[in-house]
Structure 1
Amino acid sequence: MFSLIIYFLIILLNSTCYCRFHSRFHHISINENEISPCHLLSFNLINSIKSYQLVSTNVQLHKYFSIENQTDLYAIQSLDREYLCVEQFCSCTMQCSIQLKILSQPEHQIIFVNITINDLNDNLHYFRSNEIQIHIPENTNIQHRQCYRIPNVDDKDLPETNQFIYELIGNGSEKFEIDQTIGNDLCLRIKNHPLDREERDLYDHLWLIVTDKQQQQAKMKINIQVLDVNDNSPKFLTNLTKISVNETFTGQLTCFQAYDPDEGNNGRIIYSFDHFDDKLTQFLYLNNETGCLFIIQSLLLTSFDLIPLLQLNNHLLLTIRAQDCGSRMSSTLPAYHPLEIIIEDINDHKPNIQVRQIISSIDIIKNNSQINIIENTIGLLAMITVDDIDQGIYGQVQLTLIVQTSIKKHRQAFQLKPTSMKHYKIELINPLDYELETSLILFLDAIDGGGEHSRFIINIVIDDMNDMIPHFEHEHYHFITNIQSSSTLSDSTIVGQIHATDPDVSTKSLIYSTNSNLFRIDSETGQISLIEPLSINMTDQTITFNVTVSDGEHISQTYVTISIEGLNHRPEFEKTQYFFQINENVPVRTVVGQIIGKDKDLPGTRRGELTYTLRSITPYSEFFFHTSHTGQVLVTRIPDAEQQQIHQFIITVRDHGTPPLSSEAKLTIKVNDINEYCPHLVNFSSEPYIFVSRQRFKKIPGETFTYRLFAFDKDITDQSNITFNLLPSKYSYLFKLNSNGFLTIDDLPLKTPSIMELDYSLTDTFFPEPCIKQDKLIILIGDTSIDRDYLINEYEKQLESSQHQRSMIQRLANNKRKKQETIIILLTFSLSTLIICLGVLCLLFLLCCRKQKRRNRERSITTKSSSLINPSLLDDSKQQSPHSFITDCNGKSSLLPPLR
């Protein structure tokens, strides 16, 4: 403090550069950076003859100082203390003093001038680095006041010249403080609470602000990295892990996650099992780094190595240990986490079905085996045992019986009954019938709670017993024999055969017998034959007898009727050939003709009953015609002469004798053509034009142009008999058309080019009414093909315009017709409405008139009756007038009936 006072006094005493001394040693004090030139010292007095010269050994000083007029010392440049100290003209740590040597003449005396350059605060302080990194362990004890050095600011000015204020700002600056050490560095200390890296590991927004007296500032960023120490133990995120897994699962089960906020090896966690049984190594694997638990082998609840380690049948309890990798000197403890694995039993086993048959022997049978059952028996069939080694609902089995048969009686013959939890029995409650069905299948379906399904198949074979009566195919048999064949042939003539069946398989053969005296029956085949020839007197008679069949235990009877016919004659046709004609397009079921056959046999007998059939000779004729049993030939499809005109058949007549006889004749049906089509030209395939070239007439003079027209008629009779005729028209005088269709022209018109329309007619020769068709023929006359195309375009335009005119006329006609129809409808509606209104008014008028007449009648009756009664009679209460009178509208009176 004392030195500062002296310093300010020197400044006040030397406030000007001018100073006079007359001694050998001179001391001058000057502030740095004064304005030059500055007079420092004057050596001579007034009227002195001395002169002075600067003789300093450092020649560099001559550029800063100079002696003017040989007597005055000047500072010719501004003196910067910091620069002079850097150039080593003076000290940088203390006051800057420069000694000048001045030679005085003529005495040759050295005068020493000591110049002290006073330091001013003219330089800005700064940090050498803009940013600094500081590492502080998180376990630093604040009681020790640990110092973390920070380089101080640099200032070229002397420390006495300036004083600084230090301030630490930024997020987290309240945890630190800045102290100035004895040396040039600063000291960073932790204030009140120790640092915790897990709470915050980096303070990167701290700024050290240094402010001088002139409020000039310098700043430096401070980044404080909090170093980790192993001061935290691992912690699991949950207190308990409970996992359910099915017993067949393999793969990653779960991953345990413990948290250690330390970093590096201090936060690196190693996972392991605690008190782990070695038998579990074949089932479980724990990754020490990731903490993921894997099931490498299925945890089957039926495993013998796993069963002793389970609790509550399916619970596996384990403990997971988590330890960090800090140094062994660390005081952290491992963390323990309980794990409970619930092993869920899955339905990995199918139900097992065991069947023991009872009906024939007490043996266990295999799946899809066969059991023989005699029909018409009942009783216990089999015992069933069902089990499933799965646990819980998966071990609970339901057994159902399905009978595969189409017979309802057999479907209801079997019954499945439970005898205990896992035992069942199959009973045959209704007898089986071999004749209905020889075999069937039983399905035993077992399904557990998880849906696993097992099926046991039992093939039931029904053994037959002779319990069925043989029966004939028909209730009654009827055979026919001929008297002639029975008398001429031997007694082995077979009249007929009967057949009986027995559903029983055990019946090997059936035996037939009869009680007839005329016929015998083969006991094995059932063929009926004559014992001897029949008498002629038995013609057209019927013989009935019984036939019996036996299977050894049961018998059955039927009736056989044999009709004896007389001599059969062959039927004959009246003609050997029949010919019918019919017009085309006649409707179906039209009668074409009648075919008559004759038979000498009586009409009422089978021998005299005739049947007619047709067999076509020409293709497809059978689709158009058919004959009835009476011999009528009918149309079955509409005939068309253009498709087929002639149909030929073989007609057969057959009787019903024994044996039947028949005859044949030929039938021809001609379909007559009718004039249903008109002829038309066939010359034009695509364009209905005839082009005539003038150049062709020029090349061959005198040649007549000839063009042949061809016509066609779809009617089959008119295809070649068509007559052509040219009708009068505008250009008909230039052309000639004969009846055969030859069109000729002698001279062509001179105009170029030309379009001509010719009217022509086509007539067929159909009798009695030919068909006549009229049409137009277009003749195009030109020179080249270009003219032809031009004429065609012109003609098509004319057609379009004419069609447009026709369409317009048709449209106008339609509109006119619609308007007329609308007017008619309106008039009709108006007239109907008027008539209805008039009718309603007339009805109302009639009702009013009738009501008015009724009122007038009642009023007149009252008036007349009061005027005609004798007043004297009013006193006699016992006398009444037997009649009354009424006056009508014309004033006439009439007698009323007596009042009652």
Structure 2
Amino acid sequence: ITKRMEHRGWGWQALWWHHFFLLWSTTDAQTRYSIPEELEKGSLVGNVARDLGLGLSDIFVRKLRVASEAGEQYFSVDAGRGELVVNDRIDREALCGQSASCLLPLQIVIENPLQLHRMEVEIKDVNDNAPTFLKSDHVIEIAESRVAGVRFPLEMAEDPDVGSNGLKTYTLSKDECFTLKVKEIENGRKIPELVLTKSLDREKKAVHSLFLTAVDGGNPVKSGTSKITINVLDINDNVPQFENAFYKVDVKENIANGSFVISTRAADVDEGPNGEIEYSLGVHTHPSVLELFYVDAASGDIYLKRQLDHETQSSYRIDISAKDKGFPKMEGHCTVQVDVIDVNDNAPEIILTSKSTSVPEDSSSGTVVALLSVRDLDSGDYGKVTLQLLKTSSFALKPSFSNNYALITNGPLDRESISDYSIEVTAKDSGTPPLLSTKTIPVSITDVNDNPPVFTQRSYNVYLKENGVPGSILFSVSASDLDSGENAKISYSILDSKVQDVSVSSYVYMNSENGSIYSMHSFDYEKLKVFEIHVQAKDQGSPSLSSNATVHVFILDQNDNAPAVIYPSSAALGSLSHQRMPRSAKAGHLVTKVTAVDADSGHNALISYRLAEATDASLFTVSLYTGEVRTKRAVSEQDDSSQRLILEIKDDGEPLQSATVTVSILLEDALHEPISELRHHKASEPSKKTGRITLYLILSLASVSVLSLLTFVILAVKCMRNSRSSGSCCCMRRSDSDDYKNPNRNLQIQLNTDGPIKYVEVLGGDMMSQSQSFRSCMSPMSEYSDFTLIKPSSTTDFKEVISVLDASLPDSTWTFESQQVILWRLPHIKALCISSLQRDLVPPPSCSPCLTNASTAKSWMRRCDDLHTFTENTKGKPI
């Protein structure tokens, strides 16, 4: 055991001395601590944080740790106090053997950013080992013929301790024939020799028992004892003598097993068996030597049994014994030193000192990715190593000190292009031929949020039928993000915007995970035709990135509105319209005109009229597209005086929508037309009445004229008062403060007539802009001169107007002949449509409530456009 420890100690001693002198020559200054061996776990070595100029918080933040080159982790850092403490039992003898100096090199690795500091811990010897002998009992045979002064080498004791704690001296128990002589050889080693001081007399004492004690210089002193038994022999009195007492040979470590090492020779002057010599390894030979060498018993040649290794042990000491065959046997001794010569048989070893092998993709050039060190167990030039990278331009190696390197970035990184690198590092020594080793270092590029989500399109068009089911999906948008992890997780949202002064979130909502857009309620084309949804895709990075897209939603019209009759007015007159016509009417006489509108658009709003039922179908006809009811032939005496017509009004949609109106016509022998100064009265047939009737007619005409004049005087006075109070004229546009744009507007009076139906329009300026207007409804009967002037307002309910007229006039006045609309004015959109639809001057509805709201006005404008197109396609056929 002692020889094995000695062998291991010498190996560690040589290895650490080699590293020590190499590091000492390349490092300007290093931190060194000194501690005794065998300290308990947790014992203080030194304050690393203070010596490196670090705060206690830096130990946690920067992840300070200890890396040992010896392979065992003997030390650790107390993170709470920044102290280097003993992590495991340290046996100096196991580490450094008999070396005078025992240094443990340490690497202090600090991450974030990566730094490497080198330290040394000197392990001081303590007297923890007592001297020991390989054998506790040793037998020596000495012939009685040996003369005094002969020396017999004894077994040397082994003490792993060094310095003053090592082996100091030997002592021998008292004996009258023997004394002890201590011989000092190279390296300060001491060999005990037994000296015969007095001739032996076997007849007096055949056996001598002695005790050899080895004492060290420690405090307290430790010792070891070996028993020596001396058997006194007779006769053979010549000892074999070697040619040289010391042999030395150099052998390369790659020498083959069984190779010859060296030859030793001894001679014995005795004759016969007493002069025949046998060679053998000494009885005190260390087991490690016995495993490697053997000696030929006849020739004394030494051979190699196993492969040598310079890195394990560079030198061996072999004791050779030569014994004769006499009785008693005589024995001679010599020493052989075998020095093992190094060859380049160890490839360099690359050691990854740091653990982190990932780097953010936005790292600047020169960022430390990993720390490397390289070592070669060979010596001299064989141990000089160069390090280089293979096939990479994004990384480089930066030397630090000794054989330590830093792997750094050498340019910009892009995880989306390359997310993982396998960096091959090659180490090559200076031997001939050189030996190589390669290590692959995986480096992961961590993602940073440098890519915003990208929609598949910047703009989407969605076509949606009206009257859909609330909660149904409208559309799905999709975006992608080139980043990874949280940086690529996308959430969708709708940006706040207005649709008809209402937040778009009142119309739709969006699934934040998959980008699906759902309706909140059913859409009505007549109220909303198109709107925009501004959507945003946002990732979960920090800071987050986003992009926007626009979804254009177009509402498609469905035929969900039936035609609405606006003349005759069902609200004022009920579902039955009463009309009068003279029996003298000829073929083509205009009896009445039915006017209807449809809130839908396109073909869904194209209206046609049909005579569904009639008392006499041969007497009347209805225009398919205008709704005019005319006579097909002249009225005869045989025709009933009361005619009833049912007109069906249909649109062109799918499914078809329809409405009906009933017209009751009274045929009269004579029909008196009221006289009005607002139109030119055609010459009537010669009166066959009496002068009294003529007088009544003249009085009626005069009264109506006076009433009309009074009406216009009142209107002029009211206009002048309004112009003084508001700064504008009633016949002109309002000021800009009233949200009217056109500064030039003149009062226009338009007289329209067709048979018995008469109306006049008073228009304020052009019909394509908003204007101020007045409506007036007057009874045509001479005995009623009621006049109603209504100021326009966007909130005016025409149903209330009709109610006012109903309250002011008797029911008898609401006949066909008495329905004269004296003043009728719609906003510009309605006026345009009425003018387009009724350009042949058919009577408009009297104060109809169905045209008062904005949506209906817009539908009138669409009707107008559609009907104009239809008119052009039908080559001017009136519709």
TM-score by length of 1: 0.37
Whichever of the two has the greater Rg, that structure is 1
TM-score by length of 2: 0.38
